[in-house]
């Protein structure tokens, strides 16, 4: 059976943490020769409020389209940075609920690793807001690397040559 190229799925929310998430993915993808998919999930503005779609269909559609365009531009900037390191990078924007969309993408792409940021919320904010990263860790079809807000940005020297990072 021929070896296949490793695939890293990077889930981005464009928070300040996104820079570190992309840096970690790039630091891993380079030595592995892995392809990278940068994924952003646009939450549907009418997703949880059916009445909004009925009352304001044009406005909701315009908001969704604008969010998709902004996400595509944002992913494009991250793709350009990773492409400078000669990585194979593909942007992907989907509309849906983040946890479901990330898990579906990981399964559909046959991802070997998911890299996602976690804001490290605790207490009431965690209970109220939940944690997409936590849900991904619990249900992912592959290993998940979570990057915290206080993570330092890795450099390739952090991963010595010959260090097995992903087993195929």
Question: 7: number of CA atoms within 13 Å, CB side?
Answer: 16
Count other C-beta atoms under 10 Å from residue 44's C-beta.
17
Q: Could you write out the three-class secondary structure of the chain?
A: CCCCCCEEEEECCCCCCHHHHHHHHHHHHHHHCCEEEEEEEECCCCCCCHHHHHHCHHHHHHHHHHHHHHHHHHHHHHHHHHHCCCCEEEEEEEECCHHHHHHHHHHHHCCCEEEEEECCCCHHHHHHHCCHHHHHHHHCCCCEEEEECCCCCCCHHHCCCCCCCCCC
**Residues 54-85 pLDDT 10s:** 556 667 788 889 999 999 999 999 998 888 77
Whether the per-residue pLDDT at 1 is higher than 80: the answer is: no
d(CA 17, CA 126): 17
**Residues 6-50 pLDDT 10s:** 999 999 999 888 988 998 999 899 888 899 999 999 987 666 555
**Domains in the chain with CATH codes:** 7-158 (3.40.50.620)
Residues paired with residue 145 on neighbouring β-strands, in sequence order:
115
pLDDT score for 89: 93
d(CA 110, CA 67): 27
**Residues 115-131 pLDDT 10s:** 999 875 555 444 444 58
Question: 25: number of CA atoms within 13 Å, CB side?
Answer: 36
pLDDT score for 119: 72
pLDDT score for 152: 63
pLDDT score for 141: 96
């Amino acid at each position: 059976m021929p070896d296949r190229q490793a695939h890293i799925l990077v889930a981005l929310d464009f928070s300040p943490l996104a820079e570190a998430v992309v840096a970690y993915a790039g630091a891993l993808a380079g030595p592995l020769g892995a392809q990278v998919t940068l994924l952003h999930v646009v939450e549907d503005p009418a997703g949880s409020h059916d009445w909004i779609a009925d009352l304001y269909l044009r406005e909701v559609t315009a908001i969704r389209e604008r969010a998709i365009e902004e996400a595509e531009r944002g992913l494009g900037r991250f793709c350009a940075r990773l492409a400078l390191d000669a990585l194979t990078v593909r942007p992907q924007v989907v509309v849906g609920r983040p946890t479901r969309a990330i898990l579906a993408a990981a399964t559909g792409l046959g991802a070997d690793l998911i890299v996602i940021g976690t804001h490290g919320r605790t207490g009431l904010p965690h209970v109220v807001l939940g944690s997409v990263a936590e849900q991904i860790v619990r249900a992912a079809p592959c290993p998940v690397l979570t990057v915290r807000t206080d993570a330092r940005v890795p450099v390739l020297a952090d991963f010595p040559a010959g260090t097995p990072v992903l087993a195929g």
